[in-house]
Amino acid sequence: MTNPPSRPRRRRIAWAPYLFLAPFLTAFAVFWTWPIAYSLYLSFVNTRSRPWTFDPGFNWGRLIQDTTFWDAFGNTALILAVQVPLMLALAVALAMAFNSDLLRLKGFYRFAFFAPLVLGAVPYSAVFRLIFNADFGILNYGLGTLGLPSVRWLFESTPALVTIMIALTWRWTGYNAIILLSGLQSIPQTLYEAARIDGATAWQQFWGITLPLLRPVLLFTFVLSTIGTLQLFTEPWLITNTGPGGATETLVTYLYKQGFRNFNFGYASAIAYTVALFAAGFSLLQIRLVGGGSNR
3-state SS string for 10-34: CCCCCCHHHHHHHHHHHHHHHHHHH
User: What pLDDT, in 10s, does the model give residues 106-131?
Assistant: 889 999 999 998 888 899 999 999 99
**CA distance linking residue 125 with residue 116, whole number of Å:** 11
Q: Are 109 and 98 in contact (CB under 8 A)?
A: yes
Q: What is the pLDDT of residue 106?
A: 85
Q: Which residues have C-beta within 8 Å of that of residue 55, sequence separation ≥ 6?
A: 44, 45, 46, 49
**CA distance linking residue 31 with residue 29, whole number of Å:** 6
Q: What is the pLDDT of residue 296?
A: 43
Domains recognised in the chain with CATH numbers: 81-290 (1.10.3720.10)
Q: Are 155 and 175 in contact (CB under 8 A)?
A: no
Q: Does residue 174 carry a pLDDT above 60? A: yes
Give the percent of the chain with pLDDT over 90: 77
Mean pLDDT of the chain: 91
Q: Does residue 2 carry a pLDDT above 70? A: no
**CA distance linking residue 230 with residue 243, whole number of Å:** 18
**CA distance linking residue 28 with residue 22, whole number of Å:** 10
Q: Which of the pair, 119 or 238, is modelled with greater confidence?
A: 238
Q: What is the pLDDT of residue 25?
A: 86
Indicate the pLDDT class of residue 8, thresholds 50, 70 and 90: low
User: What pLDDT, in 10s, does the model give residues 250-268?
Assistant: 999 999 999 999 999 999 9
Indicate the pLDDT class of residue 295, thresholds 50, 70 and 90: very low
Q: Are 266 and 59 in contact (CB under 8 A)?
A: yes
| 21 backbone φψ class: left, alpha, beta (φ>0; ψ -120 to 50) | alpha
Q: What is the pLDDT of residue 119?
A: 85
